[in-house]
Amino acid sequence: MLFRSVQTLTRIFEPFFTTKEIGKGTGLGLAMVSTIVREAKGHVEVMTKLGQGTTFQISLPAVNKNITQSTANQTSVLSGTETILVVDDEETLRHLAKDLLESYGYKILMAADGPEALDIYQSKYKEISLLLLDMVMPKMGGREVYQKALEINPKAKVVFASGYCPPEEMEIVLEKSVAGFVQKPYQIEDLTSELRRVLDKI
């Protein structure tokens, strides 16, 4: 990976910025890295040189046992043991959500599109507590997936996720029947707190 201009280098951590061809990249990878490191109170340094490539250096603050224990107590309320079905057509984002949520104790199932999600939900809806559902996907959008999931289980819980939510889709988020919404790229605290809020609804 090599960044050939200062203009490009200053934008590499922007969500959805990419130098790849259309359909070859989402521009979310480095944005996710930046978000995770920033929330850990660290920073990322980038060094690039023509003909030699690019190096990323991540620096994180040192912690002692007391701080670690305090942090664990603070975040324990956001953890859980429920099973969540993560539905996203972007493989990187699916696995990122899986890794994040499993670190908080959740059991994760994954689907790459709407039809696959509904197949999984049809057979396992009794053990799936919530769908983390991308709103904009090929084949079948998040709204349609949710409507069909409700036909399977009228008590289905869902948290929609989207980097850009078109106005017509945002109307769905505002409806009382929709449980929650998180912005992509994921902010760890926002994601876990929204999931916990929806899961704890009676």
Nearest CA-CA partner of 117 in 100, 130, 103, 102: 130
In whole angstroms, give the CA distance from residue 171 to residue 152: 23
Instruction: Return d(Cα 15, Cα 192) in angstroms, integer.
Output: 20
- Is the predicted pLDDT of residue 180 greater than 70, yes or no? yes
pTM for this structure?
Answer: 0.64
114-150 per-position pLDDT tens digit = 999 999 999 999 999 999 999 888 889 888 999 999 9
Parallel, antiparallel, or unpaired: how do β-strands 53-59 and 43-49 relate? antiparallel
Give CA–CA dist 175/170, Å, rounded: 9
pLDDT for 159 = 93
pLDDT of residue 74: 45
- Is 54's pLDDT higher than 90? no
Q: What is the pLDDT of residue 169?
A: 60
Q: Is the pLDDT of residue 176 over 60?
A: no
Strands (E) in the chain, as ranges, are: 43-49, 53-59, 83-87, 107-111, 128-134, 158-162, 180-183
Q: Which residue has the higher pLDDT, 14 or 70?
A: 14
Whether cis (ω within 30° of 0) applies to the bond prior to 185 is yes
